Amino acid sequence: MIQVIAFYLFATLVIASGVFTIMSRNPVHSVLWLILAFFNAAGLMVMVGAEFIAVLLVIVYVGAVAVLFLFVVMMLDIDFAELRAGFIKNFPLGIAIALVLLAELVLGMGAYRAGILELGTPDGTAAPLLGETNIESLGALMYDRYLFLFEGAGMILLVAMIGAIVLTHRDLKTTRGHQNINKQVSRRPEDATVMKQPEIGKGIEL
Amino acid sequence: MELHSSLTLVLPEIVIAISALLLVLVTAYVGDKTARLVSILAATTLGTAAVMVAPALFEGAAGPDTVAFNGQFYADSFASFAKILIYLAAIACLLIAPSFFNRLSAFKPEYPVLILLATLGMSVMVSAGDLITLYIGLELNSLAAYVLASFLRNDTRSAEAGLKYFVLGALASGILLYGMSLVYGFTGTTSFEGVRAALTGEMSTGALFGVIFVLAGLAFKISAVPFHMWTPDVYEGAPTPVTTFFATAPKVAAIALTARVTLDAFGNQADAWRQIVIFAALASIVLGALGAIGQNNLKRLLAYSSINNVGFILIGLAAATVAGLGAMLTYLAIYVVMSLGSFVALLMLRDAEGVPLETFDDIAGLSTTRPAIAWCLLLLMFSLAGIPPLLGFWGKFVVFQAAVEADLVVLAAIGIAASVIGAFYYIKFVKVMFFDDAVDRVQGKSDAGHWVLLVLSAVIISPLGYLAMRWLGGLTDNAAAALFLAS
């Protein structure tokens, strides 16, 4: 029973925060809602017994979103004074959200201890190894059965990296002037100046 | 032991991958000076890989001995045929690149490295025996292709081509993945063998949707109508050597992949996918022929020509017989030679400063000013139009023969009628070169590599090529039989 309650709580919050992510006008708020969505999705993963994916979701996505957050803050012109202005007014709301998160945490752990949600019986190559943890099951598949594809995915990442560098890397020398002492010292007056004897009224051609 | 035999079967791919990794290091440490050396090494690697896969083709390798990594990878003679075509086309694209990029001093050693990595992806594609292998290969190839399309990053057209290709390619990948997830959901497996076994008898609507989405994603990659919109823009905007690459190697890979997916994974549902393939074939032939008529840019024209040719190739696939698949491979080989030749000729059209010329106005009266290029182009265009003594006719002939034998008489009739429409713009090419007043804009000298490739392709598609047709027919029969034996 507790699993079902926890499931509905997490699922509702994922959808609600997803909606708020696209609805809120302030990009910083969007990012915060996105983080909330990821936390709740991680909760769902815990419920079905995929702890490893839950942890990955938190580490990779929430970590990446934190970086994204920094970018948003740096790139956009956001008035922080205005953001802070409502601090006292929104304080109770903040406390409420914190309490919900705490409740989720307790409920999630409790539900997990009570046993995972049974969605169906996995079979075939996707079935987890009996009595092994998530990480061992995944590792056994990825580094054994799907070794070739794992390495192939590595090559794709390499191509992405090379591509990004090819398309954006510029030699510093060409974009900004660099001082070349040798060139400066070896410069002679006759290289830099020209003597002209222009006819009066004709102007000068350079 | 299992792993050892698997690794032996993917040895050509391992060689390409290791060579690409080493060349990346050379590029990173030594810099742009090495572009030429890296090109030569990359071409050598591809040549070595071609030699390594050749035995499987000549022996007609098929069956359980060619399966690696629990059915994720097939190293059979069908894959070998496609791989040899891909490697040779990629080598040609490495040879023609330096003189094009050097004028803009934009020849960077990343070009050969990316070509090598794209070729690795194509290699994986044509050998795929699992939906995940398919996706990994496809994405490795596409990602390198997006970068290559915008390789001249200071040229807005090139950047636009890259961006357009990337956005539409990502959309197509999404469609493909959606289809794959549906297929996986309804069959419970990603391996082609498993999907084939699961999709017998009456197919559920969900699985049908999966099949349609997978085919739509693949149709984008082979630029078959109605997923062809990106082709003219990308072909026009990308640097010409890259366009040459797009028109040859990835096309071979995507078509071979489509053939394997339809005939192996969806082999028991031929009636379901055949109507899709027949529609795509007809639409490509007609739209390729009509769309090319109004074009003034030669690269756009050749893009429509490649859409048109994909239609003929799909006719061979629609037959869904060993003969049809063999005919398709024959056509594919001839198509690669023809489009390689046409694009090399296009690369040789440059004015006195070396600026590439790519419109009809520039080649008016080419036969009086540069007769050698004009005559080679004449042969290539007549061959693309399918005029009898040339080899292009043979390709169309075997494809239509296979279609008629498979009771697709109407399809063959419409195809033949549309190929007459297509002949219009190929002949316009010849008319402009031979009968219009000479403008004498083409001045630039071309290096020996271009001449060798152009003359070689002209000789292959000339009637002399028929001497090799019996031999090629034997090879394509081997390759086609391997695919049908596997399934």
Q: Residue B326 in contact with residue B395, Cβ under 8 Å?
A: no
pLDDT value at residue A93: 82
| pLDDT at residue B273 tops 60 | yes
pLDDT value at residue A120: 62
pLDDT value at residue A196: 79
Residue A67 lies in a domain: yes
| pLDDT at residue A126 tops 70 | no
B52-68: average pLDDT: 85
Residue of chain A minimizing CA distance to B117: A159
Residue A4 lies in a domain: yes
Chain A: nearest CA to B64, how far in angstroms? 17
Hey, are the CB atoms on A155 and B140 less than 8 Å from each other? Answer: yes
pLDDT value at residue B335: 94
Residue A39 lies in a domain: yes
End-to-end CA distance of chain A: 90
Phi and psi at residue B297, in whole multiples of 5°? Answer: -85, 130
Phi and psi at residue B73, in whole multiples of 5°? Answer: -145, 125
At B20, list the tokens.
């690409």
What's A30's domain CATH number? 1.20.120.1200
| Lowest mean pLDDT segment, chosen from A15-24, A139-148, B40-49, B56-65 | B56-65
| Lowest mean pLDDT segment, chosen from A57-66, B91-100, B204-213 | A57-66
Looking at the fold, whether A72 and A142 belong to one and the same domain comes out as no
Hey, are the CB atoms on A166 and B108 less than 8 Å from each other? Answer: yes
Give B189's contacts in chain A (Cβ within 8 Å): 124-125
| pLDDT at residue B486 tops 70 | no
At B132, list the tokens.
């995940």
Residue of chain B minimizing CA distance to A148: B69
CB contact, 8 Å: A76 with chain B? no
| CA–CA gap between residue B443 and residue B150 (Å, rounded) | 27
End-to-end CA distance of chain B: 25
| pLDDT at residue B254 tops 60 | yes
Residue of chain A minimizing CA distance to B154: A167
Hey, are the CB atoms on B132 and A156 less than 8 Å from each other? Answer: no
Element (H, E) at B110: helix B110-126
Q: CA-CA distances (angstroms) from residue B417 to B287, B326, B421, B423?
A: 13, 23, 7, 10
Hey, are the CB atoms on A148 and B153 less than 8 Å from each other? Answer: no
pLDDT value at residue B80: 93
Q: Last residue of some domain: A78, A102, A118?
A: A78
Give A145's contacts in chain B (Cβ within 8 Å): 69-70
Best mutation target among B108, B140, B163 (most A Cβ atoms within 10 Å) is B140
Residue of chain B minimizing CA distance to A164: B147
Give B124's contacts in chain A (Cβ within 8 Å): 152
| pLDDT interval class at B33 (50, 70, 90) | confident
pLDDT value at residue B83: 95
| pLDDT at residue B261 tops 70 | yes
- % residues pLDDT > 70 (chain B): 99
Hey, are the CB atoms on B136 and A146 less than 8 Å from each other? Answer: no
| Lowest mean pLDDT segment, chosen from A100-109, B255-264, B380-389 | A100-109
Return the DSSP state at A76. Answer: S
CB contact, 8 Å: A161 with chain B? no
Phi and psi at residue B350, in whole multiples of 5°? Answer: -135, 150
pLDDT value at residue A132: 74
| CA–CA gap between residue B339 and residue B88 (Å, rounded) | 13
CA A148 remoteness from chain centre: 27
Residue A2 lies in a domain: yes
CB atoms within 10 A of CB B101: 18
Hey, are the CB atoms on B150 and A155 less than 8 Å from each other? Answer: no
Phi-psi region of B201 (alpha: psi -120 to 50; beta: other; left: phi over 0): left
Looking at the fold, whether A141 and A73 belong to one and the same domain comes out as no
| pLDDT interval class at B82 (50, 70, 90) | very high
Query: Cis omega before residue A27 (within 30°)?
Result: no
Element (H, E) at B120: helix B110-126
Q: Say which of B10, B113, B139 has its CB closest to residue A162.
A: B113
Domain count, chain A: 2
B375-392: average pLDDT: 90
Write down the ipTM of this complex: 0.91
pLDDT value at residue B61: 81
Residue A182 lies in a domain: no
pLDDT value at residue B189: 87
pLDDT value at residue B222: 92
Q: Residue B206 in contact with residue B185, Cβ under 8 Å?
A: yes
Q: Residue B43 in contact with residue B95, Cβ under 8 Å?
A: yes
Give A148's contacts in chain B (Cβ within 8 Å): 6, 10, 68-69, 72-73, 133
Hey, are the CB atoms on B133 and A153 less than 8 Å from each other? Answer: no
pLDDT value at residue B50: 94
Phi-psi region of B349 (alpha: psi -120 to 50; beta: other; left: phi over 0): beta
| CA–CA gap between residue A157 and residue B140 (Å, rounded) | 9
| pLDDT at residue B142 tops 70 | yes
Q: Which residues are CB-contacts of A181 (< 8 A; sequence separation ≥ 6)?
A: none
pLDDT value at residue A80: 67
Give A163's contacts in chain B (Cβ within 8 Å): 114, 143-144, 146-147
pLDDT digits (tens, 9 = 90+) for A64-79: 877 777 777 777 776 6
Q: Say which of B10, B68, B140 has its CB closest to residue A159.
A: B140
| Lowest mean pLDDT segment, chosen from A145-159, A162-176, B83-97, B146-160 | A162-176
Residue A196 lies in a domain: no
**Exposed, middle or buried: residue B26 (CB in 10 Å: 0-12, 13-18, 19+)?**
middle
Where do the DSSP E strands lie in B257-386? none
| CA–CA gap between residue B305 and residue B300 (Å, rounded) | 9
| pLDDT at residue A175 tops 70 | no
| pLDDT at residue A174 tops 60 | no
A184-205: average pLDDT: 80
At B302, list the tokens.
């050749």
Residues of B with CB under 8 A from a CB of A: 3, 6, 10, 17, 21, 24, 68-70, 72-73, 108, 110, 113-114, 117, 120-121, 124, 130, 132-133, 136-137, 139-140, 143-144, 146-147, 150-151, 153, 162, 188-189
| pLDDT at residue B336 tops 90 | yes
CB contact, 8 Å: A93 with chain B? no
CB contact, 8 Å: A163 with chain B? yes
Q: Residue B393 in contact with residue B328, Cβ under 8 Å?
A: no
Looking at the fold, whether A138 and A74 belong to one and the same domain comes out as no
Chain A: nearest CA to B140, how far in angstroms? 5
Cα dihedral A155/A159/A160/A165 (nearest 10) = 140
Q: What mean pLDDT value characterizes chain B?
A: 90
Q: DSSP 3-state assignment of B359?
A: strand
Phi and psi at residue B191, in whole multiples of 5°? Answer: -75, 145
B1-6: average pLDDT: 81
Hey, are the CB atoms on B10 and A162 less than 8 Å from each other? Answer: no
pLDDT value at residue B334: 94
At B317, list the tokens.
């696939």
Looking at the fold, whether A73 and A1 belong to one and the same domain comes out as yes
Nearest to B52 by CA among B25, B87, B18: B87
CB contact, 8 Å: A158 with chain B? yes
Best mutation target among A145, A155, A168, A174 (most B Cβ atoms within 10 Å) is A155
pLDDT digits (tens, 9 = 90+) for B387-428: 888 899 999 999 999 999 988 898 889 888 888 888 888 888
| Lowest mean pLDDT segment, chosen from A111-125, A133-147, B31-45 | A111-125
B228-251: average pLDDT: 93
Nearest to B227 by CA among B310, B120, B104, B321: B310
Residue A86 lies in a domain: no
Q: Which domain holds residue A48?
A: 1-78
Residue A93 lies in a domain: no
pTM of the predicted model as reported, rounded to 2 decimal places? 0.86
| CA–CA gap between residue B54 and residue B361 (Å, rounded) | 44
Cα dihedral B104/B106/B107/B112 (nearest 10) = -130
Hey, are the CB atoms on A148 and B10 less than 8 Å from each other? Answer: yes
Biggest CA pair distance of chain A: 104
